[in-house]
Amino acid sequence: MLAVAAFVASRIDLPYYALSPGSAEDVGPLVHLPPGKGSPLHGRILLTDVLLTQVTALSYLADRLSADTDLEPASRVLGSGSPAELAAQGYLQMAASKAAAVAAALRRLGYQVPERDAGVVIDAIEPGTPASRTLRVGQVVSAVGAVPTPDACAFVAALHALAPGDTVELTVERTRIGADGAVTQGPTVHERVRLARAPRSAAPSGCPGVAGPNRALLGVAAETRQVFSYPFRVSVSTPDVGGPSAGLAMSLTVLDKLSGGRLTGGATVAATGTISPEGAVGDVAGVAQKTVAVERAGATVFLVPPPEYKVAIAHASPSLHVYAVATLDQALGVLARLGGHVPPPPAVPAPGA
Residues 38 and 91 in one domain: yes
Kindly state whether residues 104 and 121 are assigned to the same domain.
no
Which residues 6+ apart lie within 8 Å of 223 measured at CB? 120, 121, 123, 152
Domain check: are 121 and 99 in the same one?
A: no
Evaluate whether residue 350 is within a structural domain.
no
User: Please, are residues 18 and 63 in contact by the beta-carbon 8 Å criterion?
Assistant: yes
In a domain, 76, yes or no: no
**Residue 3 resides in a domain:** no
Q: What is the SS3 string spanning 292-316?
A: HHHHHCCCCEEEECHHHHHHHHHHC
- Distance (Å, rounded) from C-alpha 133 to C-alpha 220? 12
Q: 204: domain CATH number?
A: 2.30.42.10
Domain boundary among 202, 227, 252: 227
Residues 254, 290, single domain; the answer is yes
Strand intervals (E) in the chain? 13-26, 31-32, 44-56, 70-73, 115-125, 140-144, 147-148, 167-173, 176-177, 183-184, 188-194, 196-197, 216-217, 220-228, 235-236, 268-271, 274-275, 281-282, 301-304, 321-324
Write out the residue range of the structural domain in which residue 196 sits. 115-227
pLDDT tens for the chain, 353 residues long, are 444 444 444 556 778 888 888 889 999 999 999 998 988 999 999 999 988 888 888 787 787 867 778 888 888 888 877 888 888 888 999 999 999 999 999 999 999 999 999 999 999 999 999 999 999 999 999 999 999 999 999 999 999 989 999 999 999 999 888 877 788 888 999 999 999 998 877 777 778 888 877 889 999 999 999 999 999 999 999 888 889 999 999 999 999 999 999 999 999 999 999 999 999 999 999 999 999 999 999 999 999 999 999 999 999 999 999 999 999 999 999 999 999 999 988 876 555 65
Are 91 and 235 in the same domain?
yes
The pLDDT tens digits for 266-309 are: 999 999 999 999 999 999 999 999 999 999 999 999 999 999 99
In a domain, 94, yes or no: yes
Q: How far apart are CA 10 and CA 3, in angstroms?
A: 11
Element holding 183 (H helix, E strand): strand 183-184
Domain boundary (192, 227, 262) is at 227
223 closest CA partner among 289, 317, 124: 124
Half-sphere exposure (Cβ direction) of 286: Cα atoms closer than 13 Å = 29
- Rounded CA-CA distance 34/58 in Å is 49
Measured in residues, the chain has a length of: 353
Same domain, 213 and 272: no
- 104 and 123: one domain? no
**246 & 101 share domain:** yes
Dump pLDDT digits (tens) for 303-341.
999 999 999 999 999 999 999 999 999 999 999 999 999
Domain assignment present for 126 = yes
Q: What is the DSSP string of 4-29?
A: HHHHHHHT-EEEEEEEEEEEEEESGG
pTM of the shown model? 0.89
Residues 255 and 317 grouped into a single domain: yes
Give a yes or no: residue 267 inside a domain: yes
Helix (H) or strand (E) holding 142: strand 140-144
CATH number of the domain within which 41 lies = 3.30.230
182 and 314 housed in the same domain: no
Residues 108 and 123 in one domain: no
Q: How far is residue 239's CA from residue 91's CA, in Å, rounded to a whole number?
A: 9
* C-alpha distances in Å from residue 151, one per residue of 17, 120, 170, 184, 191: 34, 6, 14, 20, 19
Domain C-terminal end among 167, 196, 227: 227
- What's the CA gap between 234 and 107, in Å, rounded? 13
Of residues 45, 108, 55, the one with CA closest to residue 353: 108
Question: At 322, is the secondary structure helix, strand, or coil?
Answer: strand
Which pLDDT does position 1 carry in this prediction? 41
> Do residue 203 and residue 242 come from a single domain?
no
Closest CA to 340 of 36, 61, 43: 43
Does residue 59 sit within a domain? yes
Count of domains observed in the chain: 2
**Is 209 part of a structural domain of the chain?**
yes
